[in-house]
Structure formats: structure tokens, C-alpha cells
């Protein structure tokens, strides 16, 4: 086989374990043999649609088996898969489709409104719906079934680009982080060193697959080992309990909001969770008390740290250290190096905060069509700048303590204040705006916007919230709004965001929370 990338995985797995179940979705089970046949058929249809080496295929929708099938079929042809965040607004989706130059879009029925609300871009040649909402779109299943099941074998190198994953940028424009097939393979190896993934693994995919963690930290390692991925369309604590008990789930990944809701469920005390071998978190530091809640239930809870640009694993706390080092992000993954440095790139002392840098075969080659951002992301000696601040203890364990940039994480989603501020500035009555993240019990963090109205103009929290709802994804919209006369500034004119973060929250009224 000339395909050294992920596109060859279905054929290799079908040869080794054809009858094992690769995916479970709703009441449907898909064997590795079926995945192989379906991806070959789909690849033939994509090739007829003009997809070849380096061409981009986008996917928009909640978790579904079709996500993985479309990805593997794209990789069979040497194409680049572009998973899109279905929570985004139509203008945000349009930008990513245009920036990536995607020629094919596969989308779920839940996203039909977003797709129809934007003009099809000139480069978008083919649009396929999982269930056809109209005559103009092709239906995914019928389209796939008419494809040729003959094996596809085109040369694909490990260094070829496999994914473009969009991350929100501090300038208000998202950047497309490129990940090669090699990045993904090395990340799987790192994951399987840190977690004892087995061929009998039953992995619950409950976080969004368009995120690097759900895809690369759970689905791909499980597929590589020949285990079973139980795919949830979206997070639901009750359904999660049902699936764990029904399928005897052994491994799952989640973020703070998911694990907090799961533990608050009335089913927590009595549910049969005995099959779970490993719980894994990422996206943001999990509160120590929440980790201990799981440990007291007899569950192994491991944390990791990483970024989209590192595919994503950079550090990991193995199960054996999960109690003694609770709250730590662990040590560098096996096949990567991590350093914590001062601004002059000298190593920090024990306990001294510094910026996390990563180097290794899991690190992105750069940003799609953005050489300036790529150059800025790396140091002169070739280390990737994470933009995150950490401390290191005497045993080399990292603890993430802050972010160099102003990004905050809400429900596992990265939110960049500059993007929200740029949209607020579009409001005709807004003169200035500053957004910071503040703690929230449910989502980890939520946004708080400080807004200065234009002279003679009036703005209300409810009006600002309504203005943003059609322009930004829901999780990016601030929860709190402060209408102020001026913003605090440094001597050089920069806004003092640390001062804004320390101000007491508004009184919690519906006006302060932008709900009316």
C-alpha cells in the first residue's frame, strides 16, 4: 500500500480485524470491514467531484459516523480534511470555507440553515447532506452507495497535510492550524504510551469531533488499536450514563463542564461505572475538587495539556500519578520535548511561572496560508510558543497557571476576547469594548464585556447580547455586561485587563447578564 497516512488505516484494520466493531452510533454498529468498504465507495465519489492530492474537503455537523468516513475517504485520496465547528455562525463558517478553499462540503441536517444562509463560495463544487433537505443537495447515503468499492491506493506521505483545524485568532480572524499525517501518528503513539489502550477498548466519544482532543486523543488511538468508538451526537449526561452501562465503556474524555454535570446527576451515586478504566480531561485545568470527586468514586482521572497545534498532546499525567500529583498537567509526552522559559528563553526556576514551549514530531508545520503567523509561532531555535504560562515542580511536572494571551475557555471552547471585541465595535453605539473571562461553575469561564457607549448614545446589556447572537457562536457571547464611562489604561494607552478581571461581578440581574 502506497498510502502511508490515515487513509490506509481502514484497509489495514479490515485486514487485521474485519469483524470487530469500529463504531457504534445510536442503534447502528459498523465493523472495520464495513468502514473499509464505505470509505472506498466514498473516496470514489469524492474523486469524481474533483478531489485529489492536497484538495480540501470540509465537514459541518455534530458527531456522526459520517465524520470519520469522510475524513478517511479524503485521506485515501491524499486530500486535506477540514472539520468545522457546527456551533459557529454562518459568516464564521463562510470565512473558513473560503480561507481553506474547500471544494466539497458534507453537512448534517442540523446545519442546513447555516449552509443555506450563506452564498455558496465559487470554490465549493459539491455539497452533500447527510439527509437531503432539498433537491439541490446530494444525499450522503445514496451518493456513497453508488460509489465504486474497489480499493483506492494513491501515494500519500507521512509529511503530507491531513487536517486543517481552525483556531480563533487574537486579531479576530481564525487561523487554520495544519496537522500532517505524521503529527497524528506520533500523537497516537504518545497517547498509547500514556494510556494503556487495548484492542478491547470501548471509548465514549462525547466531546465534539471537530475538536482536536476528541478526534486525536480518543477516536484515532482507539481505531488504530482496533477498539470500538461509541459516538454520541452531542453531550448529554443522562445519555452518557446509559451508554456506559449498555456498552461497558472503558475510556472517555471530557472537559470541566461535562465532568461537573455528570457528577451532579442524581444517578451519580448508584450508577454502574465499574467498566471505566480511564477518565481523561483537557481543554482547561480541571478543578482539583472535581478530580477528587471522581477519585473518591474509585475512578482513575488523568489530566493532560496540549494545543491544537501540538496534535494536541504536549504533557500527560499518567494514571499512577493521578492521585499524588492531582491538579498537575503531568510531564512531557514520550515523543516530544517541553520547556518552560522566561522571555529571554532561559529556563525558569522551580515554581517560577514561564511560557510553555513544545518541540517534537507532533508539532504543526504552521498555519494554512499564513506564513506571518507561522513565523511568529516559533522561536528562533525552532520551539512552538504555546502562549500559556506554567510552573514546573522539582520532579518536572507542569501546572498550567495562566495564559500569555487573553484567551479564556468556556465549556471546553477557546474564546479569544479580541474577536468578540471586534464584533462589539461594529455596534453603531459602541465606542470601546474590552472582554475578559471570569469564573463560572458550569462552564469553567464565561465572558464579561466592559462597554463604553458613544457620546449621546445608549446601549443596554440585552441589546448588546441580541446584537452578538447573529454574529457569533453562542459560547463566545459574554454573559455579563458592564456599561462604563471609560476603560482603565496603562501609561502607554493599553487597557488594564488584569484590573478588569478583579472587579466584583454585576449584581446578577437580567440587565447585567444581557438577558433582556
Domain boundaries, the chain: 408-502
List all residues 6 or more positions away from 509 whose beta carbon is below 8 Å from its beta carbon.
none
Lowest pLDDT segment from 137-146, 241-250, 382-391, 503-512: 503-512
- Report how far apart, in Å, the C-alpha atoms of 284 and of each of 164, 255, 262, 409 are: 22, 7, 17, 7
CATH 3.30.300.30 fits 408-502, yes or no: yes
* Three-class DSSP labels, 127-144: EEECCCCCCCCEEHHHHH
| pLDDT confidence of residue 418 | 74
Alpha helices in 18-119 (DSSP H): 32-48, 65-76, 90-100, 112-116
Lowest pLDDT segment from 244-248, 341-345, 406-410, 446-450: 406-410
Give the mean pLDDT of 298-306. 92
Query: Per-residue confidence at 132, pLDDT binned at 50, 70, 90?
Result: low
Nearest to 362 by CA among 306, 412, 283: 306
Give the mean pLDDT of 115-129. 76
| pLDDT confidence of residue 88 | 86
Query: Per-residue confidence at 92, pLDDT binned at 50, 70, 90?
Result: confident
Give the mean pLDDT of 159-165. 98
User: What secondary structure letter does DSSP report for 173?
Assistant: S
Give the mean pLDDT of 178-192. 98
| pLDDT confidence of residue 283 | 61
Is there a contact between 213 and 282 (Cβ–Cβ < 8 Å)?
yes
| pLDDT confidence of residue 512 | 58
**How far apart, in whole angstroms, are the C-alpha atoms of residue 113 and residue 465?**
21
Answer whether residue 170 shows pLDDT above 60. no
In tens, the pLDDT along 343-382 reads 999 999 999 988 999 999 999 999 999 999 999 999 999 9
| pLDDT confidence of residue 135 | 47
Give the mean pLDDT of 417-430. 86
| pLDDT confidence of residue 112 | 87
State the cell numbers at 489. Answer: 489604561
| pLDDT confidence of residue 513 | 57
| pLDDT confidence of residue 131 | 74
Q: What angle do CA 11, 14, 19 make, to 5 degrees?
A: 165
* Three-class DSSP labels, 84-106: ECCCCCHHHHHHHHHHHCCCEEE
| pLDDT confidence of residue 509 | 39
| pLDDT confidence of residue 256 | 76
Lowest pLDDT segment from 20-34, 97-111, 210-224, 481-495: 481-495
Give the mean pLDDT of 36-60. 97
Q: What is the mean pLDDT of the chain?
A: 91
Answer whether residue 145 shows pLDDT above 80. yes
Instruction: Starting at the earlier edge strand, list the strands of the sheet with 366-367.
Output: 138-139, 126-129, 104-107, 56-60, 80-84, 161-167, 175-180, 366-367
Amino acid at each position: 500500500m502506497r498510502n502511508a497516512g490515515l487513509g490506509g488505516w481502514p484497509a489495514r484494520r479490515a485486514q487485521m480485524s474485519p469483524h470487530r466493531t469500529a463504531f457504534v452510533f445510536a442503534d447502528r454498529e459498523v465493523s472495520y470491514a464495513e468502514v473499509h468498504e464505505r470509505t472506498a465507495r466514498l473516496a470514489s465519489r469524492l474523486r469524481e467531484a474533483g478531489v485529489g492530492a492536497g484538495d480540501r474537503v470540509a465537514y459541518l455537523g455534530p458527531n456522526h459516523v459520517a465524520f470519520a468516513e469522510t475524513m478517511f475517504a479524503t485521506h485515501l485520496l491524499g486530500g486535506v480534511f477540514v472539520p468545522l465547528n457546527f456551533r459557529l455562525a454562518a459568516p464564521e463558517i463562510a470565512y473558513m470555507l473560503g480561507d481553506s478553499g474547500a471544494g466539497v462540503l458534507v453537512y448534517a441536517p442540523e446545519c442546513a440553515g447555516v449552509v443555506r444562509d450563506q452564498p455558496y463560495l465559487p470554490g465549493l463544487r459539491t455539497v452533500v447532506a447527510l439527509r437531503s433537505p432539498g433537491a439541490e443537495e446530494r444525499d450522503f447515503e445514496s451518493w456513497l452507495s453508488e460509489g465504486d468499492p474497489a480499493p483506492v491506493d494513491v501515494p500519500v506521505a507521512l509529511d503530507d497535510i491531513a487536517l486543517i483545524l481552525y483556531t480563533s485568532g487574537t486579531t479576530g480572524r481564525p487561523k487554520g492550524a495544519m496537522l500532517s499525517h505524521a503529527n497524528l501518528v506520533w500523537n497516537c503513539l504518545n497517547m498509547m504510551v500514556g494510556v494503556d489502550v487495548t484492542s478491547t477498548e470501548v471509548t465514549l466519544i462525547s466531546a465534539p469531533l471537530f475538536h482536536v482532543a476528541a478526534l486525536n486523543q480518543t477516536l484515532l488511538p482507539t481505531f488504530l488499536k482496533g477498539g470500538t468508538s461509541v459516538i454520541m451526537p452531542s453531550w448529554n449526561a443522562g445519555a452518557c450514563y446509559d451508554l456506559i452501562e449498555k456498552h461497558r465503556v472503558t475510556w472517555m474524555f471530557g472537559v470541566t463542564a461535562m465532568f461537573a454535570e455528570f457528577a451532579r446527576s442524581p444517578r451519580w451515586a448508584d450508577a454502574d461505572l465499574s467498566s471505566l478504566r480511564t477518565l481523561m480531561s483537557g481543554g482547561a485545568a480541571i478543578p482539583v475538587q472535581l478530580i477528587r470527586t471522581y477519585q473518591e468514586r474509585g475512578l482513575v482521572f488523568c489530566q493532560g495539556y496540549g494545543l491544537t497545534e501540538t496534535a494536541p498532546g504536549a504533557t500527560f499525567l499518567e494514571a499512577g500519578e493521578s492521585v499524588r500529583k492531582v491538579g498537575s498537567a503531568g510531564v512531557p509526552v514520550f515523543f516530544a520535548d517541553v520547556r518552560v522559559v522566561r522571555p529571554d528563553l532561559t529556563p525558569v526556576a522551580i515554581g517560577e511561572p514561564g511560557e510553555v514551549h513544545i518541540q517534537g514530531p507532533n508539532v504543526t508545520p504552521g498555519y494554512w496560508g499564513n506564513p506571518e503567523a507561522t513565523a511568529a509561532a516559533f522561536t528562533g531555535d525552532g520551539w512552538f510558543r504555546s502562549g500559556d504560562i506554567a510552573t514546573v515542580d522539582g520532579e518536572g511536572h507542569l501546572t498550567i497557571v495562566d495564559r500569555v494571551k487573553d484567551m479564556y475557555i468556556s465549556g471546553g471552547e477557546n474564546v479569544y476576547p479580541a474577536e468578540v471585541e471586534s464584533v462589539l465595535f461594529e455596534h453603531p453605539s459602541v465606542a470601546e469594548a474590552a472582554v475578559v473571562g471570569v469564573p463560572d461553575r458550569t462552564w469553567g469561564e464565561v465572558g464579561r464585556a466592559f462597554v463604553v457607549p458613544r457620546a449621546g448614545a445608549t446601549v443596554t446589556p440585552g441589546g448588546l447580547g441580541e446584537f452578538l447572537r447573529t454574529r457569533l457562536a453562542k459560547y463566545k457571547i459574554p454573559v455579563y455586561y458592564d456599561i462604563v464611562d471609560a476603560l482603565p489604561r496603562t501609561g502607554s494607552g493599553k487597557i488594564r485587563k488584569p484590573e478588569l478581571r478583579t472587579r466584583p461581578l454585576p449584581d446578577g440581574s437580567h440587565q447585567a447578564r444581557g438577558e433582556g
